[in-house]
Amino acid sequence: MEHGHSPEEISARIAAPQGRGVLRDVVYGAIDGSVTTFAIVAGVAGGGLSPFVIVALGLANVLADGFSMAAGNYSGTKAELDDIKRLREVEDRHINLFPDGERAEVREILRLKGLNGPVLEAATDAICADKEAWINLMMEGEYGASPVDPQPMRAALATFGAFLLAGMVPLLPFLLGLDSAFSLSVWLTLATFFVIGAAKSRWALTPWWRSGAETLAIGGAAAALAYGVGLLFQG
């Protein structure tokens, strides 16, 4: 079972919901790290440049682009959090100025959840007796906001960490000075695409092999495009 249903387990789980977590941020960072770094490796290798150039540009991409993505994710998540705070203030003000109208909105939200008759009226009274519960219900029912606020720093660190780990994979054969480094880089990167896709199926209904193949196809197409562009400048 995914979770237990004893009174204690239910109370603990409902009292501290997990929110959306960092799955989206990790998958986003890992796929982009693999694609963009291998795009540089493939493009430079296709252009016939030296392994030193590949390593230099690849490392620059992993650090700079990874930080850029993390900063962008932080800013986007922070903007989302700021908007949630703004909407909470709006609802707080409306409850003070237009309590009857806001009460009617609570009643409609609860009606759409299946309540009716005396139960609907009693639930409306109970919610409106607690201002914090009132605002929380309005945030979910009127704006579709999650009851758990997003965490900008956690999102940024998850994106950067995933980007860094996955983005280093295409560079490993060149960093280690291995023979046939580009061929090894190709296979390692394709394997990384597949592993990322297969891993994310843990939180989806898609079979692991289909999710892995889908991510492999997307990443492989981007890598092939980059290598093709590099070939145009060869020599």
Express each pLDDT in 168-227 by its tens digit.
Answer: 999 999 999 898 998 999 999 999 999 999 998 888 888 999 999 998 998 888 778 877
**Residue 39 reports pLDDT greater than 60:** yes
Look at the chain and report how many structural domains it folds into: 1
Where residue 76 falls among pLDDT bands split at 50, 70, 90?
Answer: very high
> Would you state the torsion angle of the CA atoms of residues 54, 161, 195, 175, taken in this order, to the nearest 10 degrees?
30
Domain encompassing residue 213: 21-232
Q: Which of 155, 134, 191, 142 is nearest to 29 (CA)?
A: 155
**8 part of a folded domain:** no
Find the mean pLDDT for residues 129-143.
95
**Residue 54 placed within a domain:** yes
Count Cα neighbours of 89 within 13 Å in the Cβ-side half-sphere: 6
For residue 5, being part of any structural domain is answered with no
DSSP 3-state assignment of 26? helix
Q: Does any domain span residue 61?
A: yes
Give the mean pLDDT of the chain.
89
Query: Does some domain include residue 4?
Result: no
Question: Any idea what the Cα angle at residue 36 is, between residues 31 and 189, rounded to 5°?
Answer: 60
pTM: 0.84
